[in-house]
Amino acid sequence: MTDEPTVPQGYATTLFDLAGRVAVVTGGGSGLGAAIAIGYAQLGVTVVVADVNAAGAEATRATIAEQGGQATVAMLDVTSRDQCFALADAVKRDHGRVDILVNSAGSAFRSPAEDFPEDKFNFILDLNLKGTYFCCQAFGGVMLGQRKGSIINIASIGSFVGYPWASAYLASKGGVLQVTKGLALEWRDRGVRVNGIGPTLMESPLTKAAGSTTSITADFIKARMLRPRLGLPKELIGTAVFLASDASELVTGHIVMCDDGYLTA
Ligand SMILES: NC(=O)c1ccc[n+]([C@@H]2O[C@H](COP(=O)([O-])OP(=O)(O)OC[C@H]3O[C@@H](n4cnc5c(N)ncnc54)[C@H](O)[C@@H]3O)[C@@H](O)[C@H]2O)c1
């Protein structure tokens, strides 16, 4: 009788295999979510592009279809808990399961803290933190039923360090870090892993809309970068694949930083 090899023949060849899995990507109609959705589809994942922006979501779906992948569009406002649960039911009905959830819907608002408008503070917390939480609850529930699934929350360097004129954003992303840890702890023994990705300042429509490429916020961040270069959305795909796949089986409750070394300084 021979002992089973420590690493069975072929084990590593399937570690990153995502073919046939089902992913929901919130905020998939733009920026980081769109890039991750397209990247997953290139690996054979069926992607549900969930967004409030119909045109953006449709553009991502069309790109995936042109590239030979599988995607559908779902209208979703992540700040509505009811809509999150309704979409989770619909995806389970239509696709049978949900293997991967990427929470990329989010926004930013710039203001000095002493003048930060209450409605804008609520808007950012509702979208970035509660929206992420509602989707974790809704799609995480489906995953718990399957006893398998991977949730990836888009966090930020702002989950760990401060920068000016972004106090609501910092509060929301600090919250995303702690929600990620809390849910990872509760769900580990039921097969669901919860992690995050912490990007540096990225080139995306959000960065342009928030004036981040030229604002006091962006100037502060840029002055502390190890090299003067924004991240590209496609540069997050590798980490999103790792966290979604069986290659990260022992990884849960962490934010994997894609910050070009920002937090080392
Ligand atoms: N751009 C950066 O520099 C950067 C850095 C770190 C983290 N992030 C985070 O990454 C995520 C994506 O940012 P991005 O740069 O791709 O932004 P983006 O504006 O390009 O895309 C965000 C998407 O979210 C969608 N969205 C907004 N509100 C929604 C809602 N209520 N329900 C569903 N969808 C909604 C938008 O329609 C849009 O398609 C955000 O959470 C952001 O905080 C961005």
CATH number where 47 lies:
3.40.50.720
pLDDT at 4: 81
Q: Which of 226, 230, 229, 255 is nearest to 240 (CA)?
A: 255
The verdict on residue 53 lying in a domain is yes
pLDDT digits (tens, 9 = 90+) for 110-128: 999 999 999 999 999 999 9
Mean pLDDT of 29-33: 98
The verdict on residue 169 lying in a domain is yes
Distance 176 CA to ligand 1 centre (A): 14
pLDDT at 213: 56
The verdict on residue 10 lying in a domain is no
Domain count, the chain: 1
The verdict on residue 194 lying in a domain is yes
Distance 148 CA to ligand 1 centre (A): 26
Q: Which atom of ligand 1 is nearest to the CA of 29?
A: 39
pLDDT at 2: 63
How many Cβ atoms from other residues are within 10 Å of residue 212's Cβ? 23
Distance 204 CA to ligand 1 centre (A): 9
Which residue owns the Cα nearest ligand 1 atom 35?
105
The verdict on residue 30 lying in a domain is yes
pLDDT at 244: 99
Ligand 1: lining residues by beta carbon, under 6 Å? 26-27, 29-33, 51-53, 56, 76-79, 104-107, 127-128, 131, 154, 156, 199, 201-202, 204-207
pLDDT digits (tens, 9 = 90+) for 206-259: 887 765 556 899 999 999 999 999 999 999 999 999 999 999 999 999 999 999
Q: What is the mean pLDDT of the chain?
A: 96
**Model confidence at 261: pLDDT above 90:** yes
Domain of residue 110, residue span: 19-258
pLDDT at 3: 76
Distance 13 CA to ligand 1 centre (A): 33
Mean pLDDT of 88-95: 98
pLDDT digits (tens, 9 = 90+) for 129-170: 999 999 999 999 999 999 999 999 999 999 999 999 999 999
Please list the active-site residues.
169
The verdict on residue 4 lying in a domain is no
